[in-house]
Amino acid sequence: MSTLYVDTITEKTLGNGVQIADLVPAAGSVVQVVFNQYNTQTTMPNGVFTNSGLSASITPQSSTSKILILVRPHLRLFSSNSDSGLGFRILRNNTDIVFVSTTAFDTYAYDGGAHAEFRGGLFVQAFDAPATTASTSYTLQGIAYAGSVMMQNSGNHSQITLMEIAQ
């Protein structure tokens, strides 16, 4: 085995950068992971997208990387309408990149009163191509439908995980 000692490596063609094969992540490799959790109660009213409080930022190492976004919000949905529902969207730096909507009718548990309540965790995911090496923020927003009020459950930890995937 040989050892190479250098003080400076200069790129041959300006703008191409210097790459060392063993240090460049292979396509599909996870380059970095960012994790955040939130356990403060947030109310998301009927008909208005509201920040859930769940967000995380990542600074991609390459502009060609993709970001896998995994979000697990724990929530409660209160409603007097059995056909109520909820929706989520993930924002990248205030730009909507994915929207998920569901009618929670099948998951309601009637408590004998005039309202229904959904409790539990959902799973929202997205795959994004931000095409930047600047710090990039991802935020989960929620919306309740048909007279509902959705609340981020303070008894459980909602989580967001960002994974940079090399391309």
As given in the structure block, the two tokens for residue 130 are 């931000």
Nearest to 97 by CA among 59, 128, 54: 128
Give the model's pLDDT for residue 106: 44
For the chain, give the longest Cα–Cα distance: 78
Q: What is the pLDDT of residues 108-136, one digit of tens each?
A: 444 555 455 556 667 888 999 999 999 99
Q: Which CATH number fits domain 25-165: 2.60.120.760, 3.40.50.720, 3.30.413.10, 3.30.70.2200?
A: 2.60.120.760
- Average pLDDT over the chain, rounded to an integer: 80
* CB 136, CB 56: distance < 8 Å: no
Percentage of the chain beyond pLDDT 90 is 32
pLDDT band at residue 29 using 50, 70 and 90 as cut-offs: very high
Residue 36 half-sphere exposure toward CB, CA atoms < 13 A: 17
* CB 114, CB 82: distance < 8 Å: no
Residue 29 CB contacts under 8 Å (≥ 6 apart), including other chains: 165, 166
Percentage of the chain beyond pLDDT 70 is 74
The domain limits of the chain are: 25-165
Nearest to 121 by CA among 51, 39, 47: 39
| pTM metric for this prediction | 0.76
Residue 154, pLDDT above cutoff 60: no
Q: What is the pLDDT of residues 81-117, one digit of tens each?
A: 656 677 788 999 999 998 877 654 444 444 555 455 5
